[in-house]
Amino acid sequence: MRNMLARWSLGIALSAGLSLALTAGVSRAAPAGPAPTPVVTTSTVTAPTVPVVVESERLTLGLIFEKGGIVMWVLLLLSMASVAIVIFDAVTLRLALVAPATLRDDVMGKLQEGRREDARQACSYRPCAFAAVTLAALELAEAQDNKPDAALLKGAIEGEGARQGAALQEQPQVLLDIAVISPMIGLLGSIFGMVGAFRAVAMDAAKAKPMLLASGVSEAMFTTAGGLIVGILAMGFYGFYRRRAARLVSDLEAVSDDLFNTLLRVPRA
């Protein structure tokens, strides 16, 4: 209260002093002649303008989705899909599921004993990449009366191993697709937002204010930021799982070589 009274008193004093100064200047500059008619000056005291401080609007998740529009919901769906793929790859891209150690030891032991049918049943009970390669090799060996040609056997193992390896390497590929698409969707949403902001300004000249235009453009940037966040995270997980898939393919190739050498040494049952 004291500060406001002090501001009002200072404003009144400044206005009165300015009025007296202007009156004195006019009287000095007036030419000599008949006595001038006294002029009564009424000084109008205006209240000092107090700057209005507008509290900035706090950014919340709900506000961002409200400003971003339907594009933010599309990005949310893409982010949920990427999370699901990351969890799926974390569960499936493991050596215990691609070539389980227990299954390898069981199959190799049965093949060394000449029990091909038992090895086939073991692979049927535990479907995986190694089991698929083993079944392809056993089918070829059975077609050649359990004495397969080395070149044909190697071709069968390498062919099935290549198919299984391609399937492993294709799993993280969806993350790359999301990483590429998300920033473009975010940019498209920003373009729509900026078009709407410029259109609103063009429709009403009274709204052509820099603050209004800047607000519209800043709201349009929400979708770009969301698309970049989703894309960067998806790209990071893609690189991680791509390297893991490459290691699994290398391990599968090593196991396939052991299978090839074992089948060539297996005695006829």
Q: C-alpha angle 164/168/169, rounded to 5°?
A: 120
Residue 147 and residue 94 in one domain: yes
Residue 123 and residue 243 in one domain: yes
Examine residue 8 and state whether it is found in any structural domain, yes or no: yes
Residue 6 and residue 75 in one domain: no
User: Is pLDDT above 50 for 45?
Assistant: no
**């709204």: which residue's tokens?**
207
Which of 91-105, 116-130, 145-159, 232-246 has the highest average model confidence (pLDDT)? Answer: 232-246
Name the region of 265 (left: φ>0; alpha: ψ -120 to 50; beta: rest): alpha
Question: What number is the average pLDDT over the span 195-222?
Answer: 67
Residue 73 and residue 44 in one domain: no
CA 251 vs. chain centroid, Å, equals 31
Examine residue 56 and state whether it is found in any structural domain, yes or no: no
* pLDDT band with cut points at 50, 70 and 90 for residue 69: confident
User: Is pLDDT above 60 for 84?
Assistant: yes
- Domain hosting 9: range is 1-26+36-49
Examine residue 55 and state whether it is found in any structural domain, yes or no: no
User: Is pLDDT above 80 for 101?
Assistant: yes
Q: Tell which wins on pLDDT, 114 or 11.
A: 114
pTM above 0.75, yes or no: no
Q: Return the pLDDT at 87.
A: 94
Examine residue 54 and state whether it is found in any structural domain, yes or no: no
Residue 116 and residue 160 in one domain: yes
Residue 124 and residue 2 in one domain: no
Q: Return the pLDDT at 7.
A: 43
Examine residue 31 and state whether it is found in any structural domain, yes or no: no
Residue 14 and residue 109 in one domain: no
Residue 156 and residue 189 in one domain: yes
User: Is pLDDT above 60 for 134?
Assistant: yes
* pLDDT band with cut points at 50, 70 and 90 for residue 59: low
3-state percent helix, strand, coil for the chain, nearest multiple of 5: 80, 0, 20
Q: Return the pLDDT at 65.
A: 66
User: Is pLDDT above 60 for 104?
Assistant: yes
Round to whole Å and give the CA distance between 182 and 79: 9
Q: What is the Cβ-side half-sphere exposure of residue 77, based on CA atoms within 13 angstroms?
A: 6
Residue 150 and residue 254 in one domain: yes
* pLDDT band with cut points at 50, 70 and 90 for residue 61: low
CA 201 vs. chain centroid, Å, equals 32
Residue 77 and residue 15 in one domain: no
- pLDDT tens readout for residues 23-36: 434 334 344 445 45
CA 198 vs. chain centroid, Å, equals 28
Q: Return the pLDDT at 200.
A: 66
Q: C-alpha angle 89/96/232, rounded to 5°?
A: 20
The domain total for the chain is 2
Examine residue 72 and state whether it is found in any structural domain, yes or no: yes
Examine residue 170 and state whether it is found in any structural domain, yes or no: yes
Examine residue 194 and state whether it is found in any structural domain, yes or no: yes
Residue 182 and residue 126 in one domain: yes
Residue 22 and residue 70 in one domain: no
Mean pLDDT of the chain: 75
Q: Return the pLDDT at 133.
A: 92
- The continuous run of DSSP H or E covering 206 comes out as none
Q: Return the pLDDT at 81.
A: 93
